[in-house]
Each structure stands twice: as structure tokens, then as C-alpha cells.
């Protein structure tokens, strides 16, 4: 396992290239199941989870090839070809390592009329049930059976008829699975209270590029008219709004001035609004989003919510920033039940944070001090890196595999803007 060593106190300045969005890529890749023709995805981030998904797709008999980018480039081009599917089973040993594998359920069912996927199980931030995924595709006419830790879904002979589903809770993954199940159904399907995240819009845009008929893209009321078949496409993955927001917090906590190249302000409005309230200068430019800070940070109250609300995936990073604000901030995590595991580690760096259930109270402090800290989940790890960039002295963040799941070549990108950061092998 690797660790990252940060010498804090360096002001970040310059340009950070933002990679393709992990959470868009993880729902675009399984779309290859929906057509016999090649699907080429551009701007795919080089991340462990993307490699894992590529391996899972190979498991189904899908060939994948990586083209045309130099090792020093960020991002990759991947072509997936699925003229025939040799297995409809997503096995436990692959799904347990990457819970986003559940996103093969809808497209596999749509293509093959059946799918067997290991239950993903929980993770560090919560028990992450998939009941809404199953209820949605059941509403479209699938038969669902749970046995031996697997979901077995089957469509009636002749394919899914389609149907309607009203989400009691907004769910990104369940919306994605339902969309990918409905595009090849025999009839029309409707989703109410569907998730509206930009990654869902990216999925819908790809599906339409493949020949799907979808109305209400980007809204919570989506209608899908099933078509008989979809064709291949070449599609560029959207920029990662969470990676961009994470580096915005890194620039802000160091009093820096950084251009987040490729970031789209319109996809991260809630994060940019929070940063402005904290006293950070944020400007949308032709090449991306510029973030500038003068070192003074104001305490604010924040609450996560489904898009267009503040992304839960930004909570830990904004909390790290607020540890240095003047005053007390109150954060409320409304999406996941256990997403404060970064708090004890931040407090070991001199932060002063109390948590009670879904609420965290962040009392701003004058200084943070470097420490050896442990990553626990993807976004918690990034919050420790952000704190380490502003802390006095050296910070070592261990168990970097958590970071490698969501941040492409993090230490290279931070070094581009003047951070003193080094990655070394850990015992
Ligand atoms: C996606 O997870 C993202 N992952 C998460 O990002 C992100 O935090 C989350 O959406 C919310 O924005 C990917 O896109 C791969 P949900 P997902 O279904 O789809 C409950 C990261 O750091 N729920 O929107 O699993 C659930 O427990 C990751 O990049 C059910 O009750 O999230 C949660 O409380 C972490 N039943 C809420 O809904 C279900 O069937 C939202 O979950 C599904 C979800």
C-alpha cells in the first residue's frame, strides 16, 4: 500500500487539468452491453475503479481496447465491443471490490433478458441498499429473485414491457440502472423523482447518441420510449465536478490561485456558491473555473442534498476547508448515514470538530499541524490531503488505494501547482 507525504504551507498556484468524471464513466461503460456495435469512450480517467469495470466487462465476453494516449497524458480512450455476451453473471469476487458493478444489472437485463449480479454489500459510508434499483426494474416488468447473495433478474419472453416508477428517495445509481433497463423495453417507461445529477445527463446524452429516445433529460420526470436496438457511438466523458471541487478546496485552504482546467461552473453551482460564501473568489472562464483566495475564510452552514443541492461527495473536502475558517460552521450530511470518518483524523491534525448523528460542528482553528493519518474512504482521504496542504509540517496519508479510486494522478496534479508532495510505498 502506498502513502503520500505532504509538506504543508505551500500556496497553490497555476493550472490543474480536470479528468473525466469517475461517476459518469462508471455508468457509461456498462452501456456497451446495450449494443452489438463498438462503443468508444474518450476522456476516461485512469482510475482503479475504471480498470475494475473494464475487467468486469471482459468477464461478460466484451473486448476492450485502450488507444492513443501517451503515458504522460491524463485520461484514456477505451473501445468496448460486445457482438455477443458469453456470461450474464457478475461474480461476487469482482462486485465486492467495486460496488458500482451493480450498474450492469439494468443493461444486461435489457440486452439478454436476464442478469445475475452479486449483491454489492455495504461500504464505509453506509449500508448502501439497492432496493430502489430492484423496485424500479420490477416496475418495468422484470422478475427479481434474491438467492445466495445474488440478485437474479429475468425479463418476460420478448423483453421488458416497460412501466412507471416513482422514487421514494432520490437515487443516482437506481436512476441509472432504470434508464439503461428501459431504453430497449417494448414500450414506454416513466421515472418520477429521478436523480438529476450531471452524470445522469451524461448517461442520457450517450444513450441518445446510441439511438435511445428519452424525454425530460436533466429533470426528475423522465420518459423513455423503448427502441428495438441501439447502435454504437463515440462519446467524451464529462469533466469530473467532484475532482474539480476537491482541488478548489485545496487551492482555497492554501490561499492560492488555481485554474481548474476543463471544469464546468454550471455543473458545480452549489459547491461554487458555498466557496463564495466562505470568501473564496470563483470565476468561470473559457478554459475552466478559476479559484482564488486571500487566506481569510468565513464559517458557513452547509447541508448536502441531491442535485442541484450540495453534493454529498463534497462534504468532507469542504469540512477540511472550514477547519481553518473564522467562526463555527454547522454541516449536515443528509444522504449517507456514516460519512464523518474523516473527522477523528482531521481532529488529530488540530481541527476542532464535534459530530452528533448527521450533524458536524466545525469550530475554526488558527492552525493545523501535520500528522500521520489514515484514509478510510475516497472523499475522506481527499479531505486529509486538503488539510495536509495547509498544515504546518509534514502529513502522511496512508492507505492511498482509497484515493486512487477517484483521483487520477493526484500527487502529479498537486505538484503542477506547487505543492510539496511525494508518493512512496508503504509497508
Ligand atoms: C452515487 O452513489 C455515487 N457513486 C456516490 O459517489 C454519491 O455519493 C451518490 O451517488 C450520491 O450522490 C457513483 O456514482 C458510482 P444513491 P449511489 O443511490 O448511486 C439510498 C463517490 O465518492 N438508497 O444516490 O450508490 C442510499 O443508501 C461515491 O464518488 C437506497 O435507500 O448513491 C443513500 O442514502 C460515494 N436504496 C441515498 O439513497 C437504493 O436502492 C442516495 O444513494 C439506493 C440508494
Q: Pick out the chain residues at pLDDT < 70.
A: 68, 427
Residue 335 CA, closest ligand 1 atom number: 34
**Fold of domain 2-18+239-425:** UDP-n-acetylglucosamine1-carboxyvinyl-transferase; Chain (3.65.10)
Domains 2-18+239-425 and 22-236 share a fold: yes
CATH assignment of 22-236, given 3.60.9.10, 3.65.10.10, 3.40.50.460, 3.30.160.270? 3.65.10.10
Tell me how far CA of residue 383 lies from CA of 89, 280, 315, 366, in angstroms: 36, 18, 9, 18
Q: Is the peptide bond before 95 cis (omega within 30 degrees of 0)?
A: no
- At residue 320, the pLDDT reads 98
Name residues contacting ligand 1 (CB within 6 A).
Answer: 23, 26, 100, 126, 128-133, 169, 171-174, 195, 312-313, 335-336, 378-379, 406
Residue 134 CA, closest ligand 1 atom number: 40
Active site residue 31: no
- At residue 126, the pLDDT reads 84
Yes or no: say if 292 and 276 are a contact pair by the CB < 8 Å rule.
Answer: no
Query: Which positions ≥6 away from 317 have C-beta within 8 Å?
Result: 245, 246, 249, 379, 382, 383, 386
- At residue 427, the pLDDT reads 61
Residue 26 CA, closest ligand 1 atom number: 15
Closest C-alpha among 18, 43, 77 to residue 267: 18
DSSP 95-157: HTT-GGGGGGHHHHHHHHSEEEEE----BTTB----HHHHHHHHHTT-EEEEETTEEEEEPPT
Domain boundaries, the chain: 2-18+239-425, 22-236
- At residue 118, the pLDDT reads 96
- At residue 82, the pLDDT reads 93
Query: Which positions ≥6 away from 357 have C-beta within 8 Å?
Result: none
Residue whose CA is closest, atom 6 of ligand 1? 313
Amino acid at each position: 500500500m502506498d502513502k503520500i507525504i505532504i509538506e504543508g504551507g505551500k500556496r497553490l498556484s497555476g493550472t490543474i487539468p480536470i479528468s473525466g468524471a469517475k461517476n459518469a464513466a462508471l455508468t457509461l461503460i456498462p452501456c456497451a452491453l446495450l449494443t452489438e456495435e463498438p462503443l468508444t469512450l474518450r476522456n476516461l480517467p485512469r482510475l482503479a475503479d475504471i480498470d475494475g469495470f473494464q475487467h468486469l466487462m471482459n468477464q461478460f465476453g466484451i473486448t476492450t481496447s485502450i488507444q492513443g494516449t501517451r503515458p504522460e497524458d491524463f485520461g484514456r480512450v477505451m473501445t468496448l465491443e460486445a457482438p455477443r455476451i458469453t456470461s450474464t453473471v457478475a461474480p461476487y469476487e469482482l462486485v465486492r471490490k467495486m460496488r458500482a458493478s451493480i450498474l450492469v444489472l439494468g443493461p444486461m437485463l435489457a440486452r439478454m433478458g436476464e442478469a445475475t449480479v452479486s449483491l454489492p454489500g455495504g461500504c464505509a459510508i453506509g449500508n448502501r441498499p439497492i432496493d430502489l434499483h430492484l423496485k424500479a426494474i420490477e416496475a418495468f416488468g422484470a422478475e427479481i429473485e434474491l438467492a445466495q447473495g445474488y440478485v437474479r433478474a429475468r425479463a418476460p419472453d420478448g423483453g421488458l414491457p416497460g412501466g412507471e416508477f416513482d422514487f421514494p428517495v432520490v437515487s443516482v445509481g437506481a436512476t441509472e440502472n432504470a434508464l439503461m433497463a428501459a431504453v430497449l423495453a417494448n414500450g414506454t417507461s416513466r421515472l418520477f423523482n429521478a436523480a438529476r445529477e450531471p452524470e445522469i445527463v451524461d448517461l442520457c446524452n450517450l444513450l441518445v447518441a446510441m439511438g435511445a429516445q428519452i424525454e425530460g433529460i436533466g429533470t426528475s420526470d423522465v420518459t423513455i420510449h423503448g427502441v428495438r436496438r441501439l447502435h454504437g457511438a463515440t462519446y467524451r466523458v464529462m469533466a469530473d465536478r467532484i475532482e474539480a471541487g476537491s482541488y478548489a478546496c485545496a487551492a482555497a485552504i492554501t490561499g492560492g490561485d488555481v485554474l481548474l482546467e476543463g471544469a464546468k461552473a454550471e455543473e458545480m453551482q452549489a459547491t461554487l456558491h458555498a466557496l463564495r460564501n466562505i470568501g473564496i473568489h470563483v470565476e468561470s472562464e473559457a478554459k475552466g473555473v478559476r479559484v482564488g483566495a486571500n487566506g481569510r475564510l468565513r464559517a458557513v452552514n452547509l447541508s448536502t442534498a441531491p442535485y442541484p443541492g450540495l453534493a454529498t461527495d463534497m462534504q468532507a473536502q469542504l469540512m477540511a476547508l472550514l477547519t481553518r475558517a473564522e467562526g463555527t460552521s454547522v454541516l449536515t450530511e443528509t444522504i449517507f448515514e456514516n460519512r464523518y470518518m474523516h473527522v477523528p483524523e482531521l481532529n488529530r491534525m488540530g481541527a476542532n470538530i464535534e459530530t452528533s448523528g448527521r450533524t458536524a460542528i466545525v469550530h475554526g482553528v488558527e492552525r493545523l499541524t501535520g500528522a500521520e493519518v489514515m484514509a478510510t474512504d475516497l472523499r475522506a482521504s481527499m479531505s486529509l490531503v486538503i488539510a495536509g496542504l495547509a498544515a504546518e509540517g509534514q502529513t502522511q496519508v496512508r492507505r492511498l488505494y482509497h484515493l486512487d479510486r477517484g483521483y487520477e494522478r493526484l500527487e502529479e496534479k498537486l505538484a503542477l501547482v506547487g505543492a510539496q508532495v511525494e508518493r512512496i510505498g508503504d509497508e
